[in-house]
Structure 1
């Protein structure tokens, strides 16, 4: 029996059902393999009172400390955070909170390995806990955990965790290179691609999806949290150059007021819709309504949205970032464009003028399977445990 303790601050709960759904799906796939038992610790960072009463945190009060979440045993301990400190104290607070919890868990779940599913603060905390409990530690890098937390005041903590971890995973070869550039040993990093649920993404044709959402004419979707890094504003300006094209921006976040103002200023209110967040389970019925999925992110590891769109037969337009060239290995899957409105407009227009057959686009996503993902993860952990 292989017993895996998955530690992830990036994990969905009742207040954030789309938050880290790919971590949830990966963990569930691993848990379904014979001879594997998985438990999840999904810590929630909360500042001290009275900041904890802010709307951003207040909903966490109703999230259970322990629950069976979509087939997974999940512990949700709270740990203290201090806003405005750049995350400097997150790791110490997380370790202090998790030490007694993991000590108690080991009485009936003597875990063999700690699987940290986000590099910060999960990674440094996992290294400290692995030493305490005498088990190997694996840390997975996904994107913002390296590109954001690997800079500034937490850079040294990220680098030290990578140097101390027994092994690491990266969502793309480009992510592995970024980790190595921080001084993390490349020979301990394995590329571990995401998966896509073929039953959820790819089962709806374009005509049915358009009819269900009342859409006609050329349609572009930009999919991701409404944060500056995702570059939705670039796609809005690109669509402004493409008459008769409708844009759906799917997601929620702090950039919504700025996007609303931009849409109004450009006179695009009749062609650009902010849909808000869409449950992940519903995306497979919305994505096929688009001709193109365009996401102008400033940084990514290997975005699940890229692969999910392709699985629906929708070509993508993305900048040359992260694992873009690992995904777009054929021009029939989509185009890489400079991160400017003009370049995105040109690429979107080219695809709309000559759409590749959906079946061809789907071939690009066929390489990304949750079964393959789970098997590779199991082999990775088994090697770590055997080596220890």
Structure 2
């Protein structure tokens, strides 16, 4: 295998992800965008992104996330990367089962025309989330005679294979892909359990932006500016059940000297507010709504602990971001979390996913003297430069193998 060099022609890569960010859905797949931005910055690839969006005709707020799909633009350029957002049909109730086929059918004529035009003769398809995106990508690679890389990021391995038809499609895609990556060892182990040869899977860890996410120069002044007067927990993520914000609120009832800040938005906000009121802690919970990354850095740096009570994750970006800001983490022991929180400087693992379990984890963390510089060093193990190096190696292997699905 030989990696590309700056002296030669740049490899043309078509990235495919239905969870790529857009102006309408800026919180989608930020880590995918970061990974591709750093890949482009290597100077060794030309890159375009195709992000298929479920078709929905109405943009009224009462339609929830489907309304947001209607607001996604047809195309935009993000950080120097051209992104198109073609629509594909979805069918209620059976949508997930048919999603790979519907996605591939919608994309095939567009990608065939792109190749025929000579405008961007991509050499490899680099897909994110094995289901449905990776399955669709392998079908497209077979029809367009291009090698395909599939990447497992979380629910595509730790949830979706519970469904028989989806599991079979994931196994088929893994068998025919030219390259397979996962973002943590736990997901690799999950793929091996599905019958995929371990030797074909490469763990490509996420990085974290160590320039953006860094400890505050004056933490007390920052806390004052943000209005934090007591020890503070921070919970970050989409307001959905899987993220476990409810357990952070329940834990607060057992931690009377602490406050909680929740950064994110989503369909569970009303239920979370009602829970806080019912438990008598509403005056100690602050909901921020969506917070962009630059502002989020301040909240990480000001907090005393990040709480992540997820039911499943690959490696959660919020863990790496908090550590980079010097803030320890209390996270549920799921999938990739133990690979990051592997010593006291990084934080503690929550053994029981409940309010009581979160409270116990926070108490354990508070019982240990914290060195925020040492916590920062835990994040320094996760550098985008290494991610990019490993990503380029996977691309080179896929191209040199000549493996067409």
Contact 2:20-2:30 at 8 Å conserved across structures: yes
Asked whether 1:199 is paired with 2:211, we answer yes
Aligned CA distance change for structure 1 residues 333 and 53 (closer, same or farther; 3 Å)? closer
- The whole-number CA distance in structure 1 between the counterparts of 2:366 and 2:244 is 21
Q: Aligned partners of 1:300 and 1:294: how far apart in 2?
A: 14
**Aligned positions of 1:9-88 closer than 5 A:** 9-47=18-56, 54-88=63-97
SS at match of 1:87: helix
Q: TM-score, normalised by structure 2?
A: 0.91
Superposed counterparts of 1:138-217, under 5 Å: 138-152=149-163, 153-205=165-217, 206-217=219-230
In the TM superposition, what is the alpha-carbon distance from 1:378 to its structure 2 partner? Answer: 1.0
Q: Partner residue of 2:396?
A: 382
Aligned counterpart in structure 1 of residue 360 of structure 2, from 342, 346, 349: 346
Could you tell me whether the CA contact under 8 Å between 1:149 and 1:158 is conserved in 2? no
Contact 1:8–1:117 (Cα < 8 Å) also in 2 = yes
Structure 1 gap ranges (5+) = none
CA contact (8 A) 2:154 2:313 kept: yes
Structure 2 Cα separation of the partners of residues 247 and 48 of structure 1: 38
SS in 2 for 1:4: strand
Q: Tell me which residue corresponds to 1:370.
A: 384
Deviation at 1:47, TM superposition (A): 4.3
Equivalent residues of 2:264, 2:289 under 8 A apart? yes
Measure the CA separation in 1 of the matches of 2:154 and 2:385: 22
Counterparts of 1:337 and 1:17, CA distance in 2: 30
SS of 1:120's partner is helix
How many angstroms does 1:104 deviate by?
1.9
What are the superposed Cα offsets for residues 193-225 of structure 1, whole Å, 9 maximum, x if unpaired? 001111110152422331221101110001111
Q: 1:108 aligns with which of 93, 113, 119?
A: 119
8 Å CA contact retained: 1:48, 1:80: no
Q: Does 1:91 align with 2:100?
A: yes
Q: Give the distance between the partners of 2:246 and 2:388, measured in 1 at CA.
A: 36
Residues 52 and 65 (structure 1), Cα distance of their counterparts in 2 relative to 1, 3 Å cut: farther
1:271: which partner in 2?
284
**CA distance in 2 between partners of 1:54 and 1:325 (Å):** 38
1:120 aligns with 2:131: yes
Distance 1:328 1:59, change over 3 A: closer
Residue 172 of structure 1, CA deviation? 0.3
Query: What residue in structure 1 maps to residue 3 of structure 2?
Result: none
Judge conservation of contact 2:56–2:70 (CA < 8 Å) in 1: no
Q: TM-score under structure 1 normalisation?
A: 0.95
Q: Distance in 1 between matches of 2:167 and 2:223?
A: 46
Paired residues of 2:76 and 2:84 also in contact (CA < 8 A) = yes
Q: Which residue of 1 aligns with 2:324?
A: 311
For the residues of structure 2 that align with 1:354 and 1:49, how far apart are their CA atoms?
Answer: 52
The separation in 1 between residues aligned to 2:104 and 2:143, in whole angstroms, is 11
Question: How many Å separate the matches in 1 of 2:158 and 2:267?
Answer: 20
Cα distance change of structure 1 residues 381 and 346 upon mapping to structure 2, 3 Å threshold: same
| Aligned pairs, number | 388
SS at match of 2:36: helix
**Contact 1:91/1:124 (8 A) holds in 2:** yes
Which deviates further from its counterpart, 342-351 or 194-203? Answer: 342-351
User: Alpha-carbon deviations, 1:154-185, whole Å to 9, x = none?
Assistant: 22222221222122110100011112222233
Q: Partner residue of 1:254?
A: 267
